[in-house]
Structure 1
């Protein structure tokens, strides 16, 4: 068992009373895009930082993280609230009343920092999860966000900043916008620059993502995902034998590897237009996971699911700075034998591009089937893609350098791949969770399948600046 993390101090970063909006603004009624995520565990991101040079006292770092968070909260006030359920209206909302704030934990640990950022190492999932506060609740109300800063004592030292955020409050674009702004404010304080309070409110008004039938759709999603509200988890646990021992590793595709992958896809597909980085990397991951799962000789369907940001494709368009969820579920499938063929990578890429194009044409076309489309996929036959190669993980510099490693501690599905931008411009970091017996085959396929040399390397820490 991994060494434990010990709490030194637990406080609350309060949302300033004078920053609260008038009473109606303290209650954010959630859209169907938000309530779709009501039953999922919170998003738990952890950033690992090598000891800063010159050294900075951990107490000073914690103080600046707290003060910069306090300055930013007025712009992100729903993050300081609680997720609640109103049985009279059958609606979910985030409520920011007097006393609203974000739990802030300061901790220490003897966990081996060097091991956690080691190139190619198997993830210590238990350790990563200890570095992020746990805001899960079996029954509402539940906190929306919490933060933890942990000092690694002994060994090489180091520090972790962990953030937990309930997915109903924001999608990936909204979370990364918050993280970038918080890091910028904290860095200013640590470097002795003035930290100004963020006064321009970010866009949390769910009416910006309104469409005909949205209230009815929100009700449908609640009935499908959390039928026992205010309980948010089933009373019965998963059936015996369902839990699978997962292996987790992080890979980085260098910018040159991404370029060659796109060139290969252009050549195979007979098109001059290169696919997007997202389509190319997801296709490569889909084929590699299918092969590692033994589906190459299988005529049954292998599914790939991912989310598409539809802000720009709604009518009217939703502002780019909108913080709430505005995502459509995309599900595509090909047979294992199709994915195994000489043109399997190209077929996968075409299927992904067509799904994205369809969403752009009509983002809400099959919205009532999003939940059932995913729920009906046979167990073990889905490749689940989260994140984006444009999420700027390494832009999260709180004032003591880029992270040596950044991970999603909450990924826990066999066949899941989470994408973020790598440290090198144009590179992509892919964190992968698979049943342990599949990982060696995936490793080989992901590095070599269909290419002479993708120039892949393990973990983002291989190219530290």
Structure 2
């Protein structure tokens, strides 16, 4: 076990007296089917590691700046200060933002080896990463929606970690990154470029015919024992320790070469998008590293942002979940064969095109589509190569490492934009015996 993180101070950052709403008198945010899908799944746990500020800044000043800037942006993201609650009469879950709503803010210290945590390509110390983010999980509702933690690395080279935990019912990845960008902008008191629109939380912006009934169906599927919400997909401690976790960065030149190779192999004049190219490359690499060479299917599952494809179109400023579940499958012998990369590219490209044509076509199957995938025969893609993980600057420089603290599946890959322009960072969790082969397949020389 790594040295423990010790809390120095725990406080709450509260909403202004009287609460903040996006509709007159509204203090309860009703949830859409897109949100309740995540009611019993683990929260999003992001951690950012920063080199010591230069010139040095006292940790109390760092923590104070983070506290005050979080307080400044929290009213615009008021559901994050609420609690996920259960109403037994309506058998529904919602986010309540009443009097006293706020976000827990923890100031901590640790003697962990900062240099080891940020080493490129090194085996992740999952226990260490998880100690750097607050834990908001509860076995029974109500449960907090968000918490934040700032940790000082004492001794050694020093360093600072900023950890954020958010219940997925409050926002999808796009909503979370919008919050992080606004928090960072407030910390350095620099207006965001283009004066972006105020964040929107009103769930009717993603309404569609039959949405209330679909929300009830999803809730029965994901959390049948409400108010208990023990995560159904949260792995046991034993199974998680069998996973190896590493982070790889594909440079801009490697991405361009992958796109050109896939386009040529698929016989198409148009190169695939960055997302399609990286997902196809990851899918094939994991399948080959796993020895999936028989006729049994190998799955790739990912989420598609459908704001631009809903009718009416959902505003870009919408923070809540607006994601469709996509899943494609291919026989292992095809995926790992010589034509595997081209076939994977075409399959993923078609899945993306299909969800754009009709984003709600198979909405009733979103839960079963994912739940029915056999574990160990799937690649689970999360995140996006456009999420600006290394643009989050709270006033003491860009992060030297940004990670998702919890990855739950053998075959999970989390994507964010890399530190260098045009690059993509891929954090990968695999059974330990597969990782060496995967690394040889996935890492492409420039």
- 1:298 and 1:247 mapped to 2: Cα distance? 24
Residue 407 of structure 1 aligns with which residue? 403
Residues 1-150 of structure 1: pairs in structure 2 closer than 5 A: 1-21=1-21, 24-150=25-151
Offset at residue 48 of structure 1 (A): 0.1
Question: Is 1:301 matched up with 2:297?
Answer: yes
The alignment's TM-score, normalised by the length of structure 1, stands at 0.92
Residue 463 of structure 1 aligns with which residue? none
Question: Is 1:231 matched up with 2:231?
Answer: no
The runs of 5 or more residues in structure 2 that have no matched partner are none
Offset at residue 123 of structure 1 (A): 0.2
Offset at residue 374 of structure 1 (A): 1.2
SS at match of 1:280: helix
Cα deviation per residue 1:262-283 (whole Å; 9 max; x = unaligned)?
0101111111111000000000
Question: Is 1:212 matched up with 2:212?
Answer: no
- 1:248 and 1:240 mapped to 2: Cα distance? 15
Cα deviation per residue 1:415-441 (whole Å; 9 max; x = unaligned)?
000000001111000000001111011
Offset at residue 218 of structure 1 (A): 0.4
CA contact (8 A) 1:74 1:199 kept: no
SS at match of 2:268: coil
CA contact (8 A) 1:44 1:165 kept: yes
Residue 251 of structure 1 aligns with which residue? 248
Offset at residue 242 of structure 1 (A): 5.7
Question: Is 1:335 matched up with 2:339?
Answer: no
- 1:333 and 1:289 mapped to 2: Cα distance? 14
- 1:52 and 1:236 mapped to 2: Cα distance? 39
Q: Which deviates the most, 157-166 or 16-25?
A: 16-25
Offset at residue 322 of structure 1 (A): 0.3
Residue 263 of structure 2 aligns with which residue? 266
- 1:24 and 1:348 mapped to 2: Cα distance? 50
Residues 240-389 of structure 1: pairs in structure 2 closer than 5 A: 245-295=242-292, 297-389=293-385
- Relative to structure 1, is the Cα distance of residues 237 and 150 closer, same or farther in structure 2, using a 3 angstrom cutoff? closer
- Relative to structure 1, is the Cα distance of residues 220 and 352 closer, same or farther in structure 2, using a 3 angstrom cutoff? same
- 1:300 and 1:224 mapped to 2: Cα distance? 27
- 2:435 and 2:281 mapped to 1: Cα distance? 15
- 2:114 and 2:98 mapped to 1: Cα distance? 39
Residue 461 of structure 1 aligns with which residue? none
CA contact (8 A) 2:41 2:234 kept: no
Offset at residue 20 of structure 1 (A): 2.3
Residues 163-202 of structure 1: pairs in structure 2 closer than 5 A: 163-188=164-189, 201-202=198-199
- Relative to structure 1, is the Cα distance of residues 194 and 265 closer, same or farther in structure 2, using a 3 angstrom cutoff? closer
1:222 corresponds, among 219, 222, 226, to 219
Runs of 4+ in 1 over 2 A off after TM superposition: 18-24, 198-201, 234-244
- 1:413 and 1:183 mapped to 2: Cα distance? 31
CA contact (8 A) 2:240 2:408 kept: no
SS at match of 2:8: strand
CA contact (8 A) 2:234 2:408 kept: no
- Relative to structure 1, is the Cα distance of residues 340 and 81 closer, same or farther in structure 2, using a 3 angstrom cutoff? same
SS at match of 2:321: coil
Offset at residue 47 of structure 1 (A): 0.1
Cα deviation per residue 1:100-128 (whole Å; 9 max; x = unaligned)?
00000000000000000012210000000
Offset at residue 169 of structure 1 (A): 0.2
Offset at residue 379 of structure 1 (A): 2.2
- Relative to structure 1, is the Cα distance of residues 241 and 171 closer, same or farther in structure 2, using a 3 angstrom cutoff? closer
- Relative to structure 1, is the Cα distance of residues 78 and 292 closer, same or farther in structure 2, using a 3 angstrom cutoff? same
1:433 corresponds, among 429, 433, 445, to 429
Question: Is 1:390 matched up with 2:391?
Answer: no
- 2:16 and 2:237 mapped to 1: Cα distance? 47
- 2:332 and 2:438 mapped to 1: Cα distance? 15
Cα deviation per residue 1:225-255 (whole Å; 9 max; x = unaligned)?
1000000017999789866611000000000
SS at match of 2:329: strand
SS at match of 1:377: coil
CA contact (8 A) 1:110 1:152 kept: yes
CA contact (8 A) 2:184 2:394 kept: yes
CA contact (8 A) 2:42 2:231 kept: no
Offset at residue 18 of structure 1 (A): 4.5
- RMSD of aligned alpha carbons: 2.0
Offset at residue 341 of structure 1 (A): 1.8
